[in-house]
A and B are shown apart, each in its own frame.
Chain A
């Protein structure tokens, strides 16, 4: 099992940064993607489908009205008015199309993912076990509770639980990860997914999901449904945007009587232009794209969110619970130091330690050999089989080691036995006690969260036990090694107001030492399923949002209570059902990334909303003087951008309003950059960038567009009367 899984272990051990790079990168602007999106933008013009987006729906109705207005001018003249109103109509239609395009681009990326998955969903045959008979049926006819046999080369016909056997399974169809994983009955790796392939050995699987409800089906429907998903926050924002649009609708409608009273009547097109300019079209057009692409970013990280609420909760999480082993520390303990006993040479201890570990294939053993080589320059010695006998670790002796047979038969004591192991066990074996000094060292190591391994030797005569003489050589310091970069990452999370909690089975003393070294805020030592669940519940009752990762059945109760519960794909069915997200890579470190993606979605939404709303100031200054300066020439003073003419001012504002959408599509799809930091810092930065930026950019943009519009003679450059003809 270890052997097959090493590749993924190594990937995991090499640090968290790599996990982030593993996603399958998709190009944003591939020709194919853009082509589909362009086509979709026109399909989405169907008013029925636009209804779900009130802001854009209003723009579309406006476009229709101005188009009618333009047609009227085309037939009854004047033709200059046709040109102006026609151009306004064109840009209004483009506004809708741009928004549709953004949404289609976002949807397209998810769709591509779903299509790939669909291709793997072929109908397979299953070997159903009925009593003692094996019958071959179509996988679609399997029902819950059936037991099937899956042999090497077979595709697992449906989701289920392994009830017998161990096998290597290729799950690349779902995870995209080519390294096979082990599935076995009992324990935490018993869940199998339909559509994956057994590549060695065989399994007996009890089917737990019927056709249409399998994991693969669920996954496809989730990805496809991403476009229909609206997270609670998105709904709230959509409400606000609809409210703002409604307000501006009333502003424009009531401006009718105001303008008539003031003897400066204004044409319908101008009113519609004002309405569209004021309505929050930028965020309205990009809102769904932000949500969809956020979900896609999770898919690309191989995380499947089972609900939109979970994604948002991830952004809100303020406690994240991380397993010690594999997440904070490298999976295993490593030898970091040899401490010789009084009177023993360090070299001698290193040599003995190395010798005793040569045959020890555990990571701890290998790390001892490596340390001896690196620190003391000891090369691995080679022995013939006759010379050495390796003594493997056993639970009874709690030691492992080696017996070295010196070929010198004359020697009195010609067998050198070396053992390393638990302190008490080795002391007992050499029949000697630790000196107070050494006892202190053992205690210090334990207190620091490490594990002391005692090394002892005995020289034994072949003839009997007569010449037996034991000696304690020293201590090997085994330590949990904190993953590189993890402390910085946790520090960043703390600045962002997220508390990290380490979960470990270690005793509180050890746990506290490791917690301190890794820089977590709190730890849960001697964690049992009940304690984990209790912890989650207590924190939730204090108002915290808890995010956690789990794989085993014993994690399920805690997962079911957590707000963000990421289940490992390699975990048990129980864990997978208790979670609201599934990490297909089974990488517990990813929880941090999930939290960051959750935050990024919210930040992107907020940034573009702020940008969109602050844009209105400049648009007012462009359009209002253009509308009314005819009646009140003094209002020309409000034309602080010195736009050429009323027509060019209005057209420029509308063009700016339209093209800002595609310009912001990359931000909507990729998300605003987020680095964990204190809320005040993030806010200040984003408020400056998107709030102040939103205030200033349109002034510059509209002025530039006005210069271009004037240079190209797109509209009348003088002060014509814009009125009702």
Chain B
């Protein structure tokens, strides 16, 4: 590992912490204090929205009403998108004359963009009209905002005491859209345009290449979509190859800006949480736990990518033995990576995209070394809690904290309590449900895919690598990550259907129980903090939290990983490739 590569990780996390603190304070102003520097511009807009829609923002809701409103918005989003994709050929803004989107792709894509997954089993520039692309962009605003609403309910469970309401969904939703999603996406678009991404509605350009061939160069509103794709942790890029396409990430500066944008709100949620419960120390502990898991993942991936494939290395060495000036570069695993960015930056981006759940990639994950690929899987199978996407990453971490405290917290001799709220059977039931659903969905759907013909036939690489591909697809779906490993016929009806189910379960079956936790916590009285309280801000708790994420979140997948990336890795060491 080079110092530069390691420093990148450290500096990134440092910047993320600073951005997170800022965003946390800003979002606290948006949702709880109702006071931000953008108020003069946005308050009139907000008021007129309420007026037009007939919303009373002061009306408090029970968690069930809140959840129903949230679901309603998502259902409407799904239906509209589904119809739009099916009818795009007859709708306007289709200069490239794209045909209607096939049924299974529409099903999969509609779910994907409603659940903030942005799993794309199509090539954007070859399948979608500009209208479809733009409507996807609308969903890219709405779906992450839904995630913030989920977080607000859960955190209000802790910040409120003996309250049977958890806030007003419409108010949270609209304020999040107006204050958090839109202004920063615009800012991001401007920056990305400045860094070289196109933003237009032109038709595709036909060019003759230097080699004499013809090439179609896609145009379109690239910068805006890239901006909200990163800012909203969506990951659904304009181009099939995402950030590896020179229009999406024209240079390293653009890539780094996108990296920071992806982290910003997720990290902000950590401090929003701390401010809402009036104890920022808790935020620090959660951040450190996430940062440690993130760094370990990034370092392990970096190391294995740098060391590369021993079989390839020995071939390269023997071939280059005489030329003498071969450098360490040749030893690294360059396959599927963008040479403009290098191993360190690329692996950092790949680790981030799976951890923070935006899911746009800067490399082909299929070509990562087995262990490198396993780290991306780890980031997702643990439930997207290493930062994760808007709101839900933090919610997932709170669920793990509840489990950690329930498992080990009894050891202080009190009914376990987190942030002053007792954890009783209802909360345990809901947290376990959330945990069961995600692991069930990944394992059962993957097992099914490996057992039935349409599943197996969609795997391009048999053997352990194929198992990893299948596992990755469902982990990405359930984790609402949306990044693809590749090597899988994701557009086939089987995978369109099953990954669609995975995305639905990963969003609703996981977070609705956690909304219920928020509702039940809000009802409870706060237990005063004392010397007998389990301290949840110190290193002990950080260690416990990491241990729980690894043992509960990752050990479940150990047998599957043993047959996938681990088997591949050890076989590779022994000289056998798949």
Q: Which residues of A are at the interface with B, using a C-beta cutoff of 8 A?
A: 232-233, 235-237, 239-240, 243-244, 246-248, 250-262, 264, 274, 312, 315-316, 318, 494-499, 542-545, 598-600, 602-603, 605-607, 609-610, 613-614, 616-617, 620, 624-625, 627-628, 631-638, 674, 678-680, 682-684, 686-687, 690-691
Contact = CB atoms under 8 A, between A and B. Distances in A.
A691 B547 contact: yes
Nearest to A545: B527
Nearest to B443: A254
A635 to B, nearest CB: 6
A205 B569 CA distance: 84
A600 B411 contact: no
Interface in B494-518: none
B218 interface: no
A266 B466 CA distance: 20
Interface in B518-541: 525-528, 530-535, 538, 540
B373 interface: no
Classify chain B: how many residues form its interface, as a range: 35 or more
B259 interface: no
Contact of B567 (A254, A499, A635): A635
Contacts, number: 226
A517 B532 CA distance: 23
Given A250-B444, A624-B558, A632 B411 contact: no
A616 B555 CA distance: 8
A690 to B, nearest CB: 7
B418 interface: no
Given A257-B451, A678-B531, A247 B439 contact: yes
Interface string B553-578: 00110111011001101111110100
Given A250-B440, A254-B446, A318-B530, A679 B424 contact: no
Given A606-B410, A613-B407, A497 B540 contact: no
Given A258-B559, A606-B412, A613-B551, 15 more contacts: A236-B423, A254-B447, A255-B563, A257-B447, A261-B456, A261-B563, A315-B413, A542-B528, A598-B413, A600-B413, A606-B409, A607-B411, A610-B408, A634-B571, A679-B534
B110 to A, nearest CB: 28
Chief secondary structure at chain A's binding surface = helix
A683 B429 contact: no
16 contacts: A236-B425, A237-B428, A243-B433, A243-B436, A250-B443, A255-B559, A258-B450, A261-B466, A316-B414, A496-B532, A602-B410, A603-B410, A606-B407, A606-B411, A613-B407, A678-B531
Contact of B574 (A237, A606, A634, A683): A634
A602 B417 CA distance: 13
Chief secondary structure at chain B's binding surface = helix
B424 to A, nearest CB: 6
B288 interface: no
Given A247-B439, A599-B413, A634-B571, A240 B424 contact: no
A674 B412 CA distance: 9
A496 B530 CA distance: 8
Interface of B: 161, 403, 406-415, 420, 423-425, 427-429, 432-433, 435-436, 439-440, 443-444, 446-448, 450-451, 456, 463-464, 466-467, 525-528, 530-535, 538, 540, 544, 547, 551-552, 555-556, 558-560, 562-563, 566-567, 569-574, 576
Contact of B408 (A233, A257, A687): A687
A316 B413 CA distance: 7
A602 B535 contact: no
Contacts of A543: 161, 420, 525-528
Nearest to B570: A634
Contacts of A600: 413
Interface centre among B403, B414, B424, B567 (most CB of A within 10 A): B414
Contact of B435 (A247, A257, A495): A247
Interface centre among A243, A252, A261, A602 (most CB of B within 10 A): A261
A609 B416 CA distance: 13
Nearest to A609: B407
B415 A262 contact: no
A679 B467 contact: no
